[in-house]
A and B are shown apart, each in its own frame.
Chain A
Amino acid sequence: MSNPLDQLWLLHGMSENVIQAFNQYARRKNFKTGEAIIWQGDPCEAVFFVLSGEVEIYRLSSGGREQILDRTPTGGCFNLIPALLESGANQANVRTLTDCELLAIAKPDFQKLLVDFPKFTLSVTRFFAERLAHMADLIETLSLYSVRQKLARFLMDQADKVRKEKATRWTQTDIARRLGTVREVLGRALRKLEEEGIVQIDREKILLLDREKLERASFGDE
């Protein structure tokens, strides 16, 4: 029988000792779709691992606008950063996109894992490196490109992900929040791509028809 911990990315290649310690500290928590898991600014109490389902990580402006930072599917983890920060406050809000089963490891126990198991610490360090690269890409995208360019890049990136892993589904509101714009503006940009024959919007599907034109749009063809 397979161990559910096998699908957790941070535990890939870890020894039995690490798995046992992880099991000892981890507590299962279940959430329904659309539930809040943690709130930005609250004291960090635990690090979370996604056994099943998908969560969304986002920040809120004082005016209530949302910026989606990332989505974490089955196998991933979140809230590692505040577990290591002096301030120790959650850095973002996290909610479920689907029904989720999570494993929570209390902050002191997570720090103990890092001290006791150097190979696990290396895995966590690699995770942070990937997060940093992702955030640098997000900053570049949000600050340097038009909505059309951002949308073209986003659509290609998501469609390419379908080939490698389970696709995540997006509403137009989600996409707007991810790209740092509002739904109306996003909708206009999407309709323009459709009018140009670059994408086709059906129920439940946005089909990308022309990679060359999308790439030109991503570099600024206006």
Chain B
Amino acid sequence: MAEQTLPNINKNICVLCGLCVDECPENVLALNHNDLIFENPQACTYCGTCEEVCSEGAVRLEYEIRWA
């Protein structure tokens, strides 16, 4: 199975506040031993909630914009 794209987390910026964990509607993320991990990556719908709630700009769902 092809690896699916997940949000990009910059761990140099992430302050482990856990807001993205709390707000993710699919419970994809978790805080584990002072690390932010993808606990259920297959459930990620790329909805962007984690990026939206992150106050530090540590979570990025990037898009390439191009003509079909």
Chain A nearest CB: distance from B18 CB in Å?
19
User: Does A169 sit within 8 A of B, measured CB to CB?
Assistant: yes
User: Does A117 sit within 8 A of B, measured CB to CB?
Assistant: no
Chain A interface helix/strand/loop/mixed: mixed
Q: Which residues of A contact B46 (CB under 8 A)?
A: 203
Chain B interface helix/strand/loop/mixed: loop
B66 touches A204 (CB 8 A): no
User: Does B10 sit within 8 A of A, measured CB to CB?
Assistant: yes
Instruction: Give the total number of A-B pairs whose CB atoms are below 8 A apart.
Output: 69
Q: How large is the interface on B (under 10, 10 to 19, 20 to 34, 35 or more residues)?
A: 20 to 34
Chain A nearest CB: distance from B8 CB in Å?
9
Which residues 15-67 in B have Cβ within 8 Å of A in the complex?
46, 48, 51-52, 57-58, 60-67
Please report the C-alpha to C-alpha distance between residue A85 and residue B65 in the assembled complex, in whole angstroms. 36
User: Does A81 sit within 8 A of B, measured CB to CB?
Assistant: no
Among candidates A167, A173, A187, A207, residue contacting B68 with C-beta atoms closer than 8 Å: A207
Which residues 160-182 in A have Cβ within 8 Å of B in the complex?
162, 167, 169-173
Among candidates A33, A169, A200, A211, residue contacting B12 with C-beta atoms closer than 8 Å: A33
- Hey, which bits of chain B sit against chain A, CB under 8 A? 4-5, 10, 12-13, 46, 48, 51-52, 57-58, 60-68
CB pairs A–B below 8 angstroms (20 shown)? A32-B12, A33-B10, A33-B12, A155-B65, A159-B65, A159-B67, A162-B65, A167-B65, A169-B63, A171-B61, A171-B62, A172-B61, A173-B57, A173-B60, A203-B4, A204-B5, A204-B64, A206-B64, A207-B66, A208-B67
Q: 15 other contacts beyond A172-B63, A208-B65, A209-B68, with CB at 8 A cut-off?
A: A34-B12, A34-B57, A158-B65, A159-B65, A162-B64, A170-B62, A170-B65, A171-B51, A171-B61, A171-B62, A201-B63, A204-B63, A205-B63, A205-B65, A206-B64
